[in-house]
Structure 1
């Protein structure tokens, strides 16, 4: 390509100025030197182009990497927020109504229901008492019997009937609650009633305030 371009340039130069003694009168070794200089310049330009393209790839890769890392960090933060109860949640699930029908529902029965739901893949849940008190249920939640047939959940007193909202696979969780000896059977034997409604969308709105750890630190 360079030889053709140089030849074309020489022809134009010779035709435009027959008296010009430049390239037309140049010796063969001079022309070879000019061609060598052009080739060297072309190589330098190509190296610069390659360097710029590599820099562009690195910058693009760096931006994409940072964006991917930020997206992953945001996803993990959302998951931790859902598990710790600091974020509201939405998804398919169950609405479970536990009506004692005048009989006291033991705290252990509600705890068993929560454990059965967790074992069946329940991811996020809350419990609401008939008195309107709602509690977000997390891994550290506890249930204690209180006076008057009420139940204390994480320090808050709830009265029956109780409503559990839980996000997960509705059919799987409903089947788990209906196993022999499960919460449905135990509440029914005590004279109460448990009803379940599968929902395409369940909203868990009760949240907890985030807490700061005083002593624990990650191991690096």
Structure 2
């Protein structure tokens, strides 16, 4: 067995237990070696076309140009698809918003939901005589003509397009089969000034109630009214939806 020397012992110790500086130097050498290999590989690739004929180079260039053009066409098509999808999404959103608004309006007109807004409160009190059916019908009709959006009698009777007023057999007036109690308190949502004006013209509902029926009428213009009564939706018996051809 050969005799060990101090230099050899130091080399063996360094290999067994390298210092931090030695590790850093080793890492740098590894990086430099990898860079040299990559550079040689790049040089090899750069010289790949050096031996090709001019015609071959033209064909390769045309092929690459065609690939680029196809990529551009695909990008343009995808952009058109994206724009179309965004347009469709916008149209669907607008249609949905319009449908929801239409449903909200129809629910109010049909009396299916509580509503709030400015309007007037009309109180008809029978003093010297009884308010006639015709006078109340005229009052409701004038309110509708003045764009009343919701009408309610006595905090619980919602008036809608299908509502019917009748003389009660026992006296008084019925609304949709329900006896109305006096005084008649009528809450109406709409433009307060327009609604009030619809009742006060000459020979109008207020004059008819006061001069011919012997009742007193008080009208308040209010910034906010709440109508909480609702109608129960009725399912059509005879009418059916027409299916589009």
Q: Considering the TM-score relative to the shorter chain, is it more than 0.5? A: yes
Task: Tell me, in whole angstroms, the C-alpha distance in 1 between the residues paired with 2:236 and 2:49.
Answer: 83
Range 62-71 or range 158-167, more displaced: 62-71
Corresponding residue to 2:182 among 160, 170, 173: 160
- 1:180 maps to 202
Range 193-202 or range 175-184, more displaced: 193-202
- 2:88 maps to 62
Query: Do 2:130 and 2:214's aligned partners in 1 also have CA atoms closer than 8 Å?
Result: no
**Correspondence 1:3-152 to 2 at 5 A:** 17=43, 21-101=47-127, 103-128=129-154, 134-146=156-168, 149-152=171-174
Inter-CA distance 107–37: structure 2 relative to 1 (3 Å threshold) = same
Q: Secondary structure at the match of 1:75?
A: helix
In the alignment, is residue 208 of structure 1 matched against residue 234 of structure 2? no
Q: Secondary structure at the match of 2:50?
A: helix
Query: Do 2:131 and 2:214's aligned partners in 1 also have CA atoms closer than 8 Å?
Result: no
Q: Secondary structure at the match of 1:23?
A: coil
Task: Tell me, in whole angstroms, the C-alpha distance in 2 between the residues paired with 1:168 and 1:140.
Answer: 20
Number of equivalent positions = 202
- Structure 1: any 5+ residue segments left out of the alignment? 1-12
- 2:29 maps to none
Higher CA-based Rg: 2
Task: Tell me, in whole angstroms, the C-alpha distance in 2 between the residues paired with 1:110 and 1:86.
Answer: 23
Q: TM-score, normalised by structure 1?
A: 0.82
Inter-CA distance 151–31: structure 2 relative to 1 (3 Å threshold) = same
Shift of 1:217: 2.1
Task: Tell me, in whole angstroms, the C-alpha distance in 2 between the residues paired with 1:92 and 1:18.
Answer: 85
Range 61-70 or range 180-189, more displaced: 61-70
Task: Tell me, in whole angstroms, the C-alpha distance in 2 between the residues paired with 1:149 and 1:159.
Answer: 11
Q: CA RMSD in A?
A: 2.3
- Structure 2: any 5+ residue segments left out of the alignment? 1-38
